[in-house]
Amino acid sequence: MRALSFLVILAVAASAHAEDELIEAKRLQGALEYERALVIVERAIAHGGADSARTAELHLLAGQLAAGLDRAAVAEEHFAKALTLRPDAVLPEGTSPKLTGPFGAARSRVTALAVSATIHAGLVSVDPTSDPLHLVAGVHVHVVDPTGHHADVSEPHALRIQLQPGVTALEIAALDASGNHLWDSRAPNDSAALPQVQNVLPTVPIRTTALHARWSTWAAVSGVALVGGGLCAWRFGIAQDQWRADKASGTHDYSELVAIEDRGHTWGLFANIGFGVAAASGVTAAILYLTHRDEPPITVTATPGSIGVAGRF
């Protein structure tokens, strides 16, 4: 559920970003900054993911901007793509001939995009029956599985896609080379739908023993404590030898001997604590090792449409 919510948030954020880019491009167009606006629009087209209405709007705007920059050929190409998707598109009255020229040229050479879709035995196909500019490059399908989970599947470089058994297509779209939608439709009925197959996957045991309840955890703690205690004991021995040597030499005053003695007591205390922890952890590890059971407390069995959980308590 969190993953699905995260994907929804990303989709909403991407849509908001695309809308902001379009608004910025139109603002720059109004300020006669056609070059910067065209860069934004063409970047949005190349990014993909626009629905069919937005795709047509982007190409129409790109054509106007390119014409404003005296790039008639580029403008005509964008206008042609827009008119293929929206044959009823028009320019505002009073538009400069720099725009109406390439727009008219585009209208005279293109026809409306026409696409049909079929589903047979789970194979979704799109057929561009009229695609004068050869825009259709891929297929996108919105599906639902037997559990009610919705998802999107795409094949950006082919006109057909095979659905998994039991999955139902709800909507189909034809995509351009950048992944923008050119045509959308509700999915037709599958003339030979694949039967739903419950492929039972192997049972996967999942050990969920808490970290503090594992014998290996306490064995590791015991080993670390034993090493720490040993180091502290070694330092205690060094302090003790130094205290004896300095006292025998008679060249050190009383305060120096007291400092060495205090340091030795500290290391000795740490050594005792370390050995105590090591002993207690070792006993705990031994008890858990002798009483643990090999079978996992929880077993999960997965199928394409369900998950089964068995637990031992």
Q: Are 32 and 131 within one domain?
A: no
Boundary residue ending a domain (62, 89, 109): 109
Q: Which residues pair with 152 in a beta bridge?
A: 142
pLDDT in tens, 1-30: 343 333 333 333 344 455 677 788 788 777
Rounded to an integer, the average pLDDT of 57-78 is 93
206 lies in a domain? no
In terms of C-beta density within 10 A (0-12 exposed, 13-18 middle, 19 or more buried), how is residue 13 classed?
exposed
279 lies in a domain? yes
242 lies in a domain? yes
State how far the Cα of 219 lies from the Cα of 222, in Å rounded to an integer.
5
Rounded to an integer, the average pLDDT of 84-100 is 91
pLDDT in tens, 93-147: 888 899 999 999 999 999 999 999 999 888 999 999 999 999 999 999 999 988 9
In terms of C-beta density within 10 A (0-12 exposed, 13-18 middle, 19 or more buried), how is residue 30 classed?
exposed
Rounded to an integer, the average pLDDT of 187-207 is 48
Q: Are 30 and 89 within one domain?
A: yes
Domain containing residue 152: CATH number: 2.60.40
pLDDT value, residue 19 = 67
87 lies in a domain? yes
Q: Domain total for the chain?
A: 3
pLDDT value, residue 286 = 81
Boundary residue ending a domain (56, 75, 109): 109
Residue 60 contacts by C-beta under 8 Å, 6 or more apart in sequence? 78, 79, 82, 86, 89
8 lies in a domain? yes
**pLDDT band at residue 194 using 50, 70 and 90 as cut-offs:** very low
Rounded to an integer, the average pLDDT of 60-85 is 93
List, as one string, the DSSP characters of the chain: -HHHHHHHHHHHHHHHHHHHHHHHHHHHHHTT-HHHHHHHHHHHHHH----HHHHHHHHHHHHHHHHHTT-HHHHHHHHHHHHHH-TT--PPTT--HHHHHHHHHHHHH----EEEEEEETTEEEEEEEE-TT----EEEEEEE-TTS-EEEEEETT-SEEEPPTT-EEEEEEEE-TTS-EEEEEEPPPPTTPPPP---PPPPEEE----GGG-HHHHHHHHHHHHHHHHHHHHHHHHHHHHHHHHHHH--S-HHHHHHHHHHHHHHHHHHHHHHHHHHHHHHHHHHHHHH--SS-SEEEEEETTEEEEEE--
Domain of 65, in residue numbers: 2-109
pLDDT in tens, 281-293: 788 878 877 776 5
For the chain, report the end-to-end CA distance as a whole number of angstroms: 27
Q: Are 9 and 87 within one domain?
A: yes
Strand order in the sheet with 204-206: 204-206, 298-303, 306-311
State how far the Cα of 246 lies from the Cα of 310, in Å rounded to an integer.
69
pLDDT value, residue 211 = 66
pLDDT value, residue 140 = 94
308 lies in a domain? no
Boundary residue ending a domain (132, 151, 186): 186
Distances in Å between the Cα of 64 and the Cα atoms of 83, 109, 132, 234 are: 13, 18, 21, 84
